[in-house]
Structure 1
Amino acid sequence: MGDLPGLGPLLGRAVGAAPQALDAVLDRAVLPGFTRVGLGVRRRLPGWPADPSPGALDGHAVAVTGASSGLGRRTVLDLAALGARVHLVVRDVAKGDRVAEEVRAAAGREDAARVWRCDVADLDSVRAFAEAFLDDGGPLRGLVHNAGALPPRRTASPQGHELTAALHVLGPVLMTESLLPSLSTGAGRVVLVSSGGMYTQRLPVEDPEYSQGPYSGSVAYARSKRGQVELLPRLARRWGGHGVSVHATHPGWARTPGLDDSLPGFSRALRPVLRTDAEGADTTVWLLAADPPPGSGRFWHDRRPRPTAVVPGTDPTEADRARYWRWAADAVGLTP
């Protein structure tokens, strides 16, 4: 990436500072850390993890939900560039087909991409997709839960769950559970694409379906992303028994069609420093291709594990996490 306004002074002040300390300051300051500036500084600090080697994913397959636009589109392009065969899991097959053709042309391989239809918020659709994939999809190196939405008003999924809870928590848990036979054949890696917005919210233990009080799409989105992160330790233990690791990452503030549509004022105000889609997808791709594999059950940003709570009062108790997991497991028909 090219030089950015303010990057030179930041690097100048970094001289003599401990890299980890500077990294932590960027993270806590949010504005520089979540933008292109933060990534630009971190890439220049000692200890930045190496990029995946060319061909790191040759012979491997990865499935990505929400792959028809934004970070999902960039993720499948970058995974295919490393040699992966990518499965685009999308609601709109026509849009998915267009991205798949883009992937094939860029990779120079006709078998580089395949499109599957699935509405991740619809648990019946998830079950049908998983059944079809197990019949004909083959083994998976990775599964990326990228599909997301920020609804302006409370919306129910086909099973009656609040939409963000269904799309960001319930659907991904059910899909991963259902695809474990494919993932466990090759030390599979699961990545939940979360959001730094989750830092602002507590785990919604009392009201996971957001059925009480005035509804805010941005709050619902952040609550569900908090839920993803707080489930990591349990999911790591549960899926680790199958040889499958699980990670969550937040992409920082990246300019995508979804951000432009859902938060247009925010997108316009920060446009000069918003990350590109490739910069937003960087850690997701790295987590899937890194060798040796990163440790399971952690929350990542810019290729480093991050704390899961920084705002006072947002760190849940173990009892809260257990209660939230029981709600999620019950909703998708699992034994906690």
Structure 2
Amino acid sequence: MFDTLADRLVAPGYSKWGYRLRRRSWPAGDPRPDALRGRLAVVTGAGSGIGQATALGLARLGAAVVLVVRDQAKGDTARDEIVAAVPGAVVEVRLCDLSGPDSVRRFAREMREAHDRLDVLVHNAGVLPQQRTETPEGHELTFATHVLGPLLLTDLLRPLLAASPDPRVVLVSSGGMYTQRLQADDLEYREGEYRGATAYARTKRMQVALAPLMAARYASDGIGVHAMHPGWADTPGVAGSLPGFHRLTKAVLRTPAEGADTIVWLAATSPAPRPGQFWHDRRARPAHVLPSTREKPGDVTKFWTRSKTAAGLPD
């Protein structure tokens, strides 16, 4: 009862207190200390915040980790900090801008040339522009980064994931998605006054919708796809993109490691969680809490078809 009530009231459940109280009675125990020994993980947006904390958590469990970043210097610093915390950890840094299909294709090609399998793929990279911005390909930036990039990268890395005995993909969404419905007729936010926080929440709603769709697409290869949200975490991204929110909530924000906990758990727990669900603090959560956000008939199919086409995925 407390868990459900805290989740619906938002602040108690998304804050550090929600995490710390829930941790006392996890529905499942922590993964084994060597749960990812011999496994390879890719984490996008791993130069700081939740991405770096996720990479560190995976390395602690024995995984070799590829940090996918846009800034080489930030990636190198994150790698050095992870190796200092986990001596002997295998950590490499690779550049990729998830909003650019050419960059995604180049990175995927590098991965296929360097590795013969991939066990964990975490889509954490995110942006929150204050003004509507288009990529060189003409796509709105949050949609390109949070939807098209992950779709294309997962499909290009499908052969490596299929070679794993237990491959898992995690989409890092946001609790803010609960405020938005799936905008199947305006994926690129061309209508109405543009607000960065709204664009962010809309595309995070899209990521939650993607989880069961991608899970079905890759089921024949045994690839489990999961979505989650980390609660409110104190990260450079939050401080820079939402300074007002950061000032008001700083005292109750989670650490990046607390925000990353469920990502690491989804990647490492055994047996594997049922794919296609939406998770927070190691529990499957409803995709909707407000009736106004529920999809209209045909919205999911329309969103899936249009997103696949925009990402350049084959049927």
Is TM-score (shorter-chain normalized) higher than 0.5?
Answer: yes
Matched AA of 2:104 = V
Aligned to 1:77: 56
Aligned to 2:7: 27
1:172 aligns with 2:150: yes
Shift of 1:318: 5.1
Instruction: Name 1:137's counterpart in structure 2.
Output: 115
What is the CA RMSD across the aligned residues, in angstroms? Answer: 1.1
**Alignment partner of 1:119 is 2:104:** no
For the 8 Å contact 1:162–1:209, the answer to whether it is kept is yes
- In structure 1, C-alpha distance between the alignment counterparts of 2:247 and 2:117, rounded to whole Å: 42
Residue of structure 2 aligned with 1:329, choices 305, 308, 311: 308
Structure 1: runs of 5+ lacking an equivalent: 1-20
Indicate which of 184, 198, 217 corresponds to 2:196.
217
Answer with 1 or 2: which has the greater Rg.
1
Note if contact 1:42-1:48 (Cα within 8 Å) is conserved in structure 2: no
Written as runs of structure 1 = structure 2, the 5 A alignment for 1:20-99 is: 21-45=1-25, 48-99=27-78
CA contact (8 A) 2:171 2:211 kept: no
State the percentage of identical aligned residues. Answer: 52
Letter in 2 for 1:71: I
Q: Give how far 1:233 is off.
A: 1.6
Poorly superposed stretches of 4+, deviation over 3 Å: none
Give the aligned partner of residue 245 of structure 1: 224
Paired with 1:318 and 1:293, the residues of 2 have a C-alpha distance of 31
Which amino acid letter does the alignment assign opposite residue 145 of structure 2?
A: L
Gaps of 5+ in 2: none
Report what 1:160 is aligned to.
138
What's the CA shift string for 1:154-184, capped at 9, x where partnerless? Answer: 0111211000000000000100000011111
Distance (whole Å) between structure 2 residues aligned to residue 172 and residue 144 of structure 1? 9
- Name the residue aligned to 2:83: 104
Q: CA–CA distance in 2 between the matches of 1:85 and 1:123?
A: 25
Q: Which residue in 1 is equivalent to 2:187?
A: 208
Q: Relative contact order (alpha carbons < 8 A, sep ≥ 6): 1 or 2 greater? A: 2
Distance (whole Å) between structure 2 residues aligned to residue 74 and residue 325 of structure 1:
31
Answer whether contact 2:182 2:293 (CA < 8 A) is retained.
yes
**Do 2:42 and 2:122's aligned partners in 1 also have CA atoms closer than 8 Å?**
yes
Task: Report what 2:277 is aligned to.
Answer: 298
Render the CA deviation track for 1:184-211: whole Å, top value 9, x for unaligned.
1112100000000000001011110001
Structure 2 counterpart SS, 1:313? helix
1:217-236 matched pairs, under 5 angstroms = 217-236=196-215
Distance 1:278 1:60, change over 3 A: same
Aligned residues: 314
Q: Which amino acid aligns with 1:138?
A: D
1:206-249: per-residue Cα shift (whole Å, max 9, x none)? 11000111100000000000011112221111011111010010
TM-score between both structures, scaled by the size of structure 1: 0.91
Q: 1:138 Cα shift?
A: 3.3
Task: Give the corresponding residue for 1:185.
Answer: 163
> How far, CA to CA, are the matches of 2:115 and 2:294 in structure 1?
39
